[in-house]
Amino acid sequence: MTNEEQTKKPSEMNSDELPDGAAFEDEFTRGFLQSTEETRPGYYPFLSGTGKYEMDFPIGGIIGEIGYSKENERFESFIIGVDHSDFESSIDFKYMPDEKGNEQLILETLSTSIDKKLDFENLELEGRTLYFAPFKLENDDFGYVAYIQNATDTGGIHIFYQSDCIAEEAKCSRLREEENSNIIDWLKTIEFINESE
């Protein structure tokens, strides 16, 4: 592969040059992907439409074009549908012009919107704070509500990550724990891009 081919974005490549997977097969989703080189197994580099954050994007993920919304660099909202062998997941993702200092109010609002009392943990990461709380619904769907606050600039990301295990029940009880760990690992990949950088 030549240097020119390596620097081409997936949206500029022919379909036979792309990895096999829903994220590259869907034209709209492919427009956000920055490379065909994995960031880690099964994930590829994603740059938001606002240019304000980046993350690892799952090969089995598709962003619904109809539900996609963006207002300049201030706001972006979309849903990622993810299919993989044992789970079907839906990730509701919103980038907002949140100010640092309003975290408690935002976490209360997130709890109210899912109609559950959530117990948020927080992790201080480079340039950001990640707040996350697990939930389980009556239909056995489960996942995390998360909020990521930019530590150096305006900007916050609201996330509802909901998964449904589609494997047999005996296998699901073991896999749910693994999936919860995978969700946390993915949340940690979301990083802000600040104007000063």
Domain assignment present for residue 28? The answer is yes
Domain assignment present for residue 125? The answer is yes
Q: pLDDT tens-digit profile of 105-130?
A: 999 999 998 888 899 999 999 999 99
Domain assignment present for residue 113? The answer is yes
Q: What is the DSSP string of 90-125?
A: EEEEEEE-PPTT-HHHHHHHHHHHHTS----EEEEE
pLDDT band with cut points at 50, 70 and 90 for residue 1: very low
Q: pLDDT tens-digit profile of 144-197?
A: 999 999 999 999 999 999 999 888 888 888 888 889 999 999 999 999 998 765
The mean pLDDT of 92-97, rounded to a whole number, is 96
CATH number, domain with residue 180: 3.40.1000.10
Expressed in percent and rounded to 5, the helix, strand and coil fractions of the chain are 25, 40, 35
pTM given for the model: 0.91
User: Which pair of structure tokens corresponds to residue 27?
Assistant: 């034209």
Domain assignment present for residue 38? The answer is yes
Domain assignment present for residue 197? The answer is no
Domain assignment present for residue 104? The answer is yes
Q: How many domains does the chain have?
A: 1
Q: pLDDT tens-digit profile of 167-182?
A: 888 888 888 888 999 9
Q: How far is CA 45 from CA 56, 140, 162, in A?
A: 5, 31, 22
End-to-end CA distance of the chain, in Å? Answer: 30
Domain assignment present for residue 93? The answer is yes
Greater confidence, 52 or 8? Answer: 52
Q: How far is CA 67 from CA 13, 150, 167, in A?
A: 25, 25, 28
User: Which pair of structure tokens corresponds to residue 173?
Assistant: 């009880």
- Which residues span the domain enclosing 111? 3-192
Q: Looking at the predicted structure, is the pLDDT value of residue 22 above 70?
A: yes
